[in-house]
Amino acid sequence: MKNKIKLVNDLLVKKYGIPLRSKVPPKPIDLLIATILSQNTNDKNSFKAFQNLRNDYADWNSVANISTIKIEKLIKIAGLGKQKSKSIKQFLVTLRKEKGYISLDYLTNMDNGEVIKELTKYSGIGVKTASCVLLFSMRRNVCPVDTHVHRTTNRIGIVKTNSPDKTFTLLNKNLPNNIAHSFHTNLIRLGREICKSTKPKCLICPLVKVCQYEFKNLNSNSNYKENNFLLLDSIK
């Protein structure tokens, strides 16, 4: 599996390049709340919701002091307002009660498994959110699994699982060093642009020659496959 992950990553980097990342990583607490807001919406709306919270209140301690209803109004643009506002409020209040302050800097000395266990104990925070903190804020070699990563890795044949959490476990047990950011980010781009949930564009996919899904869903006739590859090469 590790060799196939590396091959897929190399092909995606050849297609999309190495994704940019911020020179200064966001604080874990900021990244966690931003990830909650990003669920089931687009980046533009989740960023606006995050800005609404930060522009109106000086820090997360101030946000913890306002009502869930007020939080819901501020993040309305990101959708799922009731669910997200409840998760954010409960998380901030519980963290402050347990630690005496609102910060996740204490996670620094924990290993990856400990961080995931620590964060997922809070209501509304799952493995994906916790792993985003690890990758984007703590710069660990951990690949979060959203719907795009789950769908593409199963279609490609890297894993065969029925849930994102199971995909996460298998991927990260076999993930080569120092590729998590490019692998995760480029798979999401692939899932949005080419390997869509319906009508995937297999003929222009950079992974067509290593992907099991393409073979399963196109005519199995060898001449058809050969012609398909010739067409693909001509496109590229």
Is 14 part of the annotated catalytic residue set?
no
Please give the pLDDT value at position 40: 87
Burial code (b: 16+ CB inside 10 Å, e: under 16) for 179-202 equals bbbbbbbbbbebbeebbeeeebeb
Q: What beta strand segments (E) does 66-173 contain?
A: none
Pick the CATH number of 28-137 from 3.40.50.720, 1.10.30.50, 1.10.340.30, 2.40.50.140: 1.10.340.30
Query: Please, are residues 144 and 153 in contact by the beta-carbon 8 Å criterion?
Result: no
* Residue of 131, 142, 146, 141 lying closest to 190 (CA atoms): 146
Q: How far apart are CA 15 and CA 33, in angstroms?
A: 31
Tokens, residue 56: 């109106």
* Residue of 52, 47, 55 lying closest to 31 (CA atoms): 47
CA distances to 16, 60, 154 from 63, rounded to whole Å, are: 38, 5, 39
Could you read off the pLDDT of 68-81 as tens digits, one per residue? Answer: 999 999 999 999 99
Query: Domain 1-20+144-236, what architecture?
Result: Orthogonal Bundle (1.10)
* Residue of 95, 96, 74 lying closest to 85 (CA atoms): 74
Rounding to the nearest 10 degrees, give the CA dihedral for residues 54, 58, 63, 67: -100
Which member of 2, 6, 23, 128 is catalytic?
128
pLDDT under 70: residue ranges of the chain? 214-236
Place of tokens 């996740």: 104
pTM over 0.85: yes
Q: How far apart are CA 75 and CA 39, in angstroms?
A: 12
* Cβ neighbours of residue 153 closer than 8 Å, sequence gap 6 or more: 145, 159, 167, 171, 187
Domain residue ranges in the chain:
1-20+144-236, 28-137
